Structure 1
Amino acid sequence: MHTIVEYPSSQHQAEGLADEVAAQLAQSLADKGRATLAVPGGTTPGAFLTALSKAEIDWAHVSVLLTDERFVAEQDARSNMRLLRETLARNAASAATFVSLYAPAEFPESVLGDIAQAVEAVLPIDVGVLGMGADMHIASLFPQGDRLSEALASDCASVLLPMRAKGAIEPRLTLTAPVLGAAKHLHLLIRGAEKVEAISRATAEHSIENAPVKLLLERPNLTIHIADGELT
């Protein structure tokens, strides 16, 4: 069963999660000389990523990728990679290798093969950190996403899939369930009462397609980090 850690503030959450992730990356570096970190996009993880950027580990041997990306150029304000470069790709962590989930094209399908190849080169994930939407999506595994069933399948052969969903302004690229589930360490970053309530709903939900976060909830290597809300 997963572990739950509750913090008195979002800043404590950011710093506590950064310390734990840094320690796990350091252990992977010691064990095999390299490590791969997957992180979420959006604004919620910004403080965590900024705190992690200061960790004194061997970043030159760490590969970093996003769990998902909006299919927009990095210069776009909605680009997750842009946010990642403004938060994590600074300080000590600027020495890491950052793997982009975007390449210029009209549609993500046109460049999927090349991007997937770059992702495959840094797998498996040693430490995976994910956020969750109030609709219980993780990465870009949205309820009613057009390729959700394929992406959630345990035998999905693709490491990366395009995803389109109601409420998603642009197409996305997302890591698939087998890639996320194979991470050695998993962390779920939850902030606020609305998302805490969504975790409770997901636990009671029978269908993973209605609550994709269920992909993580039964994994013993998952730690849920909660701030600004209490899980009862």
Structure 2
Amino acid sequence: MAVIINEREGLATPPADGSARATHDTTPRLRDALLEISARAGTAVLLSVFAYAAILHWRADPGRITLLLLVVEVCFTISLSLFSRVPVRRDWTPFAFLCTMGGTYYFLAVQLGPGIRLVPETIAASLQVLGICWQLFAKISLRRSFGILPANRGVVSHGAYRFMRHPMYVGYLVTDIGFLLANFGVQNLLIYGTLFALQACRIYREERLLSTDAVYRFYKEKVRYRVIPGLF
């Protein structure tokens, strides 16, 4: 009897093809989900470290409104990306990844200490507020389609996207210039100069990825300019 039981236990029925295929399909999705969660958790940690350091500098000199606004802008941008929709397609090429990482986590290299004020703090802060408001308008237009890595999260053509194809970058540019004017220095000049170059590369990479979508190609015909109407 024992032999018969052992033989029956040894005769395992192989899984049906559908079950095997389902298991095979689930593994990449699980891996992608774990990668997504890890990346977002790591971003949240870096954001917290930056915000804490920046607020310490601001508390030492409460008159530096531009520093506080930098924290607000970075926290707002990164926080939205943490809750963005998972894209249909991403650009994982090394160059796109480098541009994205540099253009997103640049704030970790910004000099938080006082710099040279090329314009009064209030004027610089006003530029930052203007840029943040435009970013807010663009991000409301995107809703959960916002993200940091070039990806196809669906084509958006309403709101701020009626005027230019990449309005978010206009807000970034105005906000960054406002901060730089009140916190000028060699380090910040190099950081923001590099940032502007990386943002331009990101725009080209996003255009290249999105242009594979027929809907986006039609949108490009309607809205001619990427960032600055009449110029670029």
Larger Rg: 2
Q: TM-score, normalised by structure 1?
A: 0.25
More helix by proportion, 1 or 2? 2
